[in-house]
């Protein structure tokens, strides 16, 4: 027949029947004939293998009620989003709007969430975050190990985020996460020129060890708490070193470091930090001062060496005097001493005797 038309709808398809632009109903699988002399009938065949029914006139199709038993409809308001799983696998996040999905071909699960609370928390966040729709709908990031995140919503402090991934809905609030490292950090205070109390200019290198105890205070008290602590350490070292003379600085650097640490501690706590240690690594003197100190040291060492020499000579003389007095008071010891000397002379294998006055010759002969 010239004005009759047919259309074949497969078992996995559904027909959307329109007449004169108005939706008239659904066509089930099979072959359908219709009379259309004025060409006002239009049938759109859609696949139910695609989970969602997408059509520019979806609202009209939903209002007709013909989808009942074939598809499930959900309508998202501005403060809502939908998480969709298809066949047990996460598919995508749906923005506000009206949607319909077929119920007889694929296993579809829809979870509607309220986005009026900006932070998005879900047990399957890692899986959801890998999808393109998540990147469109969510601001995502992660707090590294050993750190915390200081969260600000619309410019106001909200909470402290523990290590791990985080996500916030876009457009709900102005989100800013500042990561703060809670681990111990070493701060080098180098190349600082300071004048001591006796007007000697020296260069000082120090090192401070600290960690963050109040992340919120560290972020809110200053724009850069590391730089702020560096400046405070410089001022404290200037105050302590400037009140001491050079000799005192060189003799007891530990006392200087302890005093500086005691002054720095309350200032660091005001920044949300705790200073664990402060030490002076180097005290560098000007070139002419180095030469002068070397000369002073050399003179001191020479005087100490001379004093030691004199002490040894005095001790040797005192020992000789004591020995001589002992030999005079004990003739037998003198005799033994003479025999020891003679034994050493005879042991050489050669004896040369030079005689002088008669009495000395007789004594030597008697000894032999």
Determine the Cα–Cα distance for residues 22 and 66; give it in Å rounded to an integer: 14
CB atoms within 10 A of CB 108: 17
- Report the DSSP beta bridge partners of residue 152: 157, 176
Asked if residues 230 and 187 have their Cβ atoms less than 8 Å apart, the reply is yes
For residue 299, what pLDDT is reported? 64
pLDDT in tens, the chain (368 residues): 556 788 899 989 999 999 888 898 999 999 988 887 788 888 899 999 889 998 999 999 999 999 888 899 999 999 999 999 999 999 999 999 999 999 888 899 999 999 989 999 999 999 999 999 999 999 999 999 999 999 999 999 999 999 999 999 998 899 999 999 999 999 998 877 887 787 777 888 899 999 999 999 999 999 899 999 999 999 998 898 888 887 777 788 888 889 999 999 999 999 999 999 998 888 877 655 555 555 555 667 667 777 887 788 787 777 777 777 776 777 776 667 666 766 676 666 565 655 555 555 566 555 55
Strand partners, 321: none
Q: Sign of torsion, CA 135 138 139 144?
A: negative
Q: Strand, helix or coil at 340? A: helix
Please give the radius of gyration of the chain, using alpha carbons only, rounded to the nearest integer. 50
Please give the distance of CA 325 from its chain centroid, rounded to a whole number: 79
Q: Are 166 and 139 in contact (CB under 8 A)?
A: no
- Run of H or E residues at 47: strand 41-47
If one counts every other C-beta atom within 10 angstroms of the C-beta of residue 279, the result is 16
Q: H or E segment at 239?
A: helix 225-242
pTM for this model (two decimals):
0.67
How far apart (Å, rounded) are the C-alpha atoms in residues 92 and 80?
14
What angle separates helix 253-269 from helix 225-242, to the nearest 10 degrees? Answer: 140
How many Å apart are CA 17 and CA 23, to the nearest integer?
Answer: 6
Choose among 119, 122, 127: nearest CA to 160: 119
Q: Tell me, what's the pLDDT at 242?
A: 85
The first and second tokens of residue 73, run together, are: 């409809």
Q: How many CA atoms lie within 13 A of 28 on its CB side?
A: 4
Q: Nearest Cα to 74, choosing from 56, 47, 90, 95? A: 95
């Amino acid at each position: 027949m010239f004005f009759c038309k047919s259309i074949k709808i497969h078992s996995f398809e559904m027909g959307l029947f329109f007449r004169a632009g108005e939706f008239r109903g659904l066509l089930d699988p099979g072959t359908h004939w219709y009379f259309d002399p004025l060409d006002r009938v239009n049938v759109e065949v859609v696949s139910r293998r695609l989970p969602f029914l997408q059509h520019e006139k979806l609202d009209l199709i939903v209002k007709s009620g013909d989808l009942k038993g074939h598809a499930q409809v959900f309508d998202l308001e501005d403060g809502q989003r939908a998480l969709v799983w298809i066949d047990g696998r996460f598919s995508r996040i749906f923005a506000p709007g009206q949607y319909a999905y077929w119920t007889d071909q694929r296993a579809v699960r829809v979870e509607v969430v309220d986005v009026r609370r900006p932070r998005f928390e879900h047990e399957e966040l890692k899986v959801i975050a890998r999808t393109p729709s998540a990147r469109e709908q969510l601001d995502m990031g992660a707090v590294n190990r050993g750190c915390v995140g200081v969260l600000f919503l619309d410019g106001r402090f909200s909470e402290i985020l523990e290590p791990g991934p985080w996500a916030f809905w876009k457009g709900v609030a102005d989100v800013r996460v500042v990561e703060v490292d809670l681990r111990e950090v070493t701060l080098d205070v180098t190349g600082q020129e300071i004048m001591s109390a006796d007007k000697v200019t020296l260069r000082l290198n120090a090192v401070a060890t600290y960690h963050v105890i109040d992340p919120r205070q560290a972020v809110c008290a200053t724009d850069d708490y590391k730089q702020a602590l560096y400046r405070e350490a410089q001022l404290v070292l200037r105050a302590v070193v400037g009140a001491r003379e050079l000799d005192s600085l060189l003799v007891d650097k530990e006392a200087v470091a302890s005093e500086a640490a005691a002054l720095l501690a309350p200032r660091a706590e005001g920044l949300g930090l705790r200073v664990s240690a402060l030490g002076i690594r180097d005290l560098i003197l000007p070139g002419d001062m180095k030469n002068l100190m070397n000369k002073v040291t050399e003179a001191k060492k020479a005087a100490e060496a001379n004093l030691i020499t004199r002490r040894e000579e005095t001790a040797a003389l005192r020992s000789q005097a004591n020995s001589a007095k002992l030999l005079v008071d004990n003739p037998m010891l003198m005799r033994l001493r003479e025999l020891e000397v003679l034994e050493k002379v005879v042991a050489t294998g050669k004896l040369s005797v030079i005689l002088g006055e008669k009495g000395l010759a007789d004594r030597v002969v008697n000894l032999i």
